[in-house]
Amino acid sequence: MVAKLEPITGHYMQVEIYGRINRIYFEESGRGIPLVCLHTAGADGSQYRHLLNDPGITRDYRVISFDLPWHGKSLPPAGYHLEDYSLTTELYVDTVLAFCRGLELRQPVIMGCSMGGRIVLELALSHGEDFRAVIGLESADHQEPWYDTEWLHRPDVHGGEVSAALVSGLVAPQAPDEYRWETLWGYQQSGPGVFKGDLHFYRVDSDYRDRVGDIDTQTCPVYLLTGEYDFSCTPEDTLRTAARIDGAEATIMEGLGHFPMCEDPVRFRRYIVPVLEKIKGYE
């Protein structure tokens, strides 16, 4: 039997970030407007595989999803064994910019989920003229923590198991089992301390409450979509953030949780396609 081949292709790029060479893995599919997708903390770019496999989207969008350094098939930079991984706003912004410049993308749309949804706000704020639009999934300028990240990386608790079991409740009850468990697998296989290092950015170094009001949505339109079952970045967090950004559009998605693109891709499609249709119309 001949296997079914997906239209996705994968590549590695070597790019300098903060003077260190990083080997970054990315996948892409489609042609047209570049749509760069940012995965959640402690996971990898395969969360967006359903978008990359959606001919209704890849007809007009070149959908690109990359694994941040330390995640998925991207390597940590050489010397990683001598340091604790800790993501910051500055490093995250520089990584996304280096990736986009490395591929010579012109005016891409950036879509990120969770911590990816947080950084798109900073990108819209500080580099809005470089992007056609930003889409924040499970995105807010700040949110209240709900557990101690010390549990994520210690010798007497399996980091992957506890990470997956913590975030399992962020998946909506309606999500199909197949996709719920695929989403959790991303956490189960994450490198030691990586989820915790991402959460340094998310918890400690990205309180944008005083700054998001300066985003100019005429230059860089902002779309925020949050699942009603997300109790980490709650619908209230997203609506409060949208209210501070003049011109931002917010949508609360029914029957979805914190990982809409991978926990229930069919349901998510109903919400994301109209946004992508609107963005297509921009010059």
Partner 1 sequence: MAAVAPGPALLRSRRFAIHIEAAAWAQFRHPVPRPGYHDLFAMCKRGEARIEGELHPLMANLRYFKELLSLARKPETEAVGHGG
- Site residues, partner 1 (CB under 8 A): 144, 146-147, 151, 156-158, 161-162, 164-166, 168-174, 177, 180-181, 184, 228-229, 231
Q: How far is the CB of 161 from partner 1 (least distance, A)?
A: 6
Quick one: 106 exposed, middle or buried, by C-beta within 10 A (0-12, 13-18, 19+)?
A: exposed
As a whole number of angstroms, the distance between CA 30 and CA 56 comes to: 10
Q: How far is the CB of 253 from partner 1 (least distance, A)?
A: 11
Q: How far is the CB of 231 from partner 1 (least distance, A)?
A: 4
Of 157 and 243, which has the nearer Cβ to partner 1? 157
Q: How far is the CB of 36 from partner 1 (least distance, A)?
A: 30
Provide the b/e sequence for 228-260 (b: ≥16 CB within 10 Å). Answer: ebbbbbbbebbebbbebbeebebbbbebbbbbb
Of 184 and 222, which has the nearer Cβ to partner 1? 184
Q: How far is the CB of 265 from partner 1 (least distance, A)?
A: 18
Of 102 and 193, which has the nearer Cβ to partner 1? 193
Of 78 and 157, which has the nearer Cβ to partner 1? 157
In what side-by-side order are the strands of the sheet with 109-113? Answer: 9-17, 20-29, 61-66, 33-38, 109-113, 133-137, 222-227, 249-253
Count CA atoms within 13 Å of residue 282 on its CB side: 19
Of 43 and 184, which has the nearer Cβ to partner 1? 184
Element (H or E) spanning 242, and its range? Answer: helix 235-244
